[in-house]
Amino acid sequence: MPCTDDYIQYVLEQLSPAGDVSARKMFGEYGLYMDGKVMGLICDNQVFLKKTEVGAELLGEDAMEGYAYPGANLSYVFENLDDQDFVCQVMKATWEVLPYPKPKKARK
């Protein structure tokens, strides 16, 4: 089931206090970006956040995990973003440890 426009707007509103959050359509679903870094994916009306040690510390052992699509890396899954302060705290901490994407090479 693809993401709904309403869900994408909800995610962006809930995560906006964390930074400059955006979603880009990719392969029928969405990539989740914050302040120039790829944070994860939004698929099937769920947020899949890249796994990091900082995320593991904040979310604890009972953190929900899943795969955004077959063959994807294991991610943290957020179905409920109602605790905006906590989710933004996890996003900010994750952003701190993720690298910026490598620059694209110029075409000849």
Closest by alpha carbon to 20, among 37, 40, 8? 37
**107 within domain boundaries:** no
What CATH number does residue 65 fall under?
3.30.1460.30
pLDDT band at 15 (very low <50, low <70, confident <90, very high): very high
**17 within domain boundaries:** yes
**104 within domain boundaries:** no
**76 within domain boundaries:** yes
Structural domains counted in the chain? 1
**108 within domain boundaries:** no
**103 within domain boundaries:** no
Q: Structural domain of residue 86, as residue ranges?
A: 5-97
**15 within domain boundaries:** yes
Ordered strands of the 37-43 beta sheet: 21-26, 29-34, 37-43, 46-50, 74-78, 65-67
pTM reported for the whole predicted model: 0.90
**105 within domain boundaries:** no
Distance CA 40, CA 37 (A): 9
Distance CA 104, CA 7 (A): 30
* Per-residue pLDDT reduced to its tens digit, 32-91: 999 999 999 999 999 999 999 999 999 999 999 999 999 999 999 987 899 999 999 999
Top-confidence residue, 28 or 90:
90
- Axis-axis angle for helices 5-15, 84-97 (nearest 10): 80
